[in-house]
């Protein structure tokens, strides 16, 4: 039994890495064809989306942007806590998959949409939190994306960024912290495990 479990986990990790290494040289993001890997048991095990939402202390009156949501691994968990969740991805096929897997109870609070991280279709100071899981290193202009996030966040808002060791474009957390600092954020908290980390940032107060 253990050998079967080990084989299944190995096959899953191998498939995930193969897809990401194939797409990396072309500068592509995770294709919709492998979306099931984003919500696999392995990823849910180390990402622990419910615990992540609790760690970020998402509040019932918050508006949250799940930026680069893919097929919505984290979206339903954010919707259990927040007043409104905007689930944004640049790939229409990913948003279509999110819509299909989204629990009906989440429909009133979740707003899926297709848009670019470089041109967020929201007014300034819209969100209490922006979440970016396994997104930043894949973007061609990290600075522009983070400046857009800074624009749509409220002054009291939070930026939650997570990366995973299984991603070929994985970068260590100090790199993310440096990128965020250059865009006007300060690191407030950090959570790590063997396969992933999550960082909590706040906008720098320009009056400070």
Tens-digit pLDDT profile for residues 51-80? 999 999 999 999 999 999 998 899 999 999
Q: In angstroms, what CA-CA distances link 35 with 19, 55, 107, 157, 188?
A: 11, 25, 21, 30, 31
pLDDT at 15 exceeding the cut of 70: no
Question: pLDDT value at position 26?
Answer: 41
In this structure, whether the domain defined by 2-203 belongs to CATH 3.40.50.150 is answered with yes
SS3 87: strand
User: Cα-flanking dihedrals φ and ψ of residue 61, to 5°?
Assistant: -100, 10
- Give pTM, 2 decimals: 0.85
Give the pLDDT band (50/70/90) at residue 32. Answer: confident
Structure tokens at 9: 């986990």
Cα radius of gyration rounded to whole Å, the chain? 17
State how far the Cα of 21 lies from the Cα of 120, in Å rounded to an integer.
28
Q: Distance between alpha carbon 173 and the CA centroid of its chain, in Å?
A: 15
* Mean of per-residue pLDDT scores for the chain: 87
Mean pLDDT of 38-63: 88
**All residues at 6 or more sequence positions from 17 whose CB lies less than 8 Å from its CB, including other chains:** 166, 168
The alpha carbon dihedral of 157, 196, 146, 121 has a sign of: negative
pLDDT at 5 exceeding the cut of 50: no
Angle between the N-to-C axes of helices 142-152 and 173-182, in degrees from 0 to 180, rounded to the nearest 10: 60
State how far the Cα of 74 lies from the Cα of 39, in Å rounded to an integer.
9
| Partner residues linked to 200 by β-bridges | 160, 189
Do the Cβ atoms of 158 and 180 come closer than 8 Å?
no
| pLDDT tens-digit map of 143-184 | 999 999 999 999 999 999 999 988 888 999 999 999 999 999
């Amino acid at each position: 039994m253990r050998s079967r479990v080990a084989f299944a986990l190995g096959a899953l990790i191998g498939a995930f890495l193969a897809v990401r290494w194939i797409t990396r040289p072309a500068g592509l993001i995770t294709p919709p064809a492998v979306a099931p890997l984003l919500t696999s048991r392995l990823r849910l095990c180390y990402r622990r989306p419910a615990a992540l939402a609790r760690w970020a202390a998402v509040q019932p009156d918050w508006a949250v942007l799940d930026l680069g949501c893919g097929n919505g691994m984290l979206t339903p968990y954010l919707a259990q806590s927040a007043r409104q969740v905007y689930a944004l991805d640049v790939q229409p096929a990913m948003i279509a998959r999110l819509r299909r897997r989204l629990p009906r109870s989440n429909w009133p609070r979740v707003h899926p949409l297709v848009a670019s991280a470089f041109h967020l279709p929201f007014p300034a100071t819209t969100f209490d939190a922006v979440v970016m899981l396994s997104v930043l290193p894949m973007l061609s202009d990290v600075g522009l994306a983070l400046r857009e996030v800074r624009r749509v966040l409220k002054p009291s808002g939070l930026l939650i960024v997570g990366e995973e060791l299984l991603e070929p474009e994985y970068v260590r957390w100090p790199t993310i912290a440096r990128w965020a600092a250059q865009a006007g954020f300060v690191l407030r908290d950090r959570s790590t495990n063997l396969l992933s980390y999550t960082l909590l940032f706040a906008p720098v107060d320009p009056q400070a």
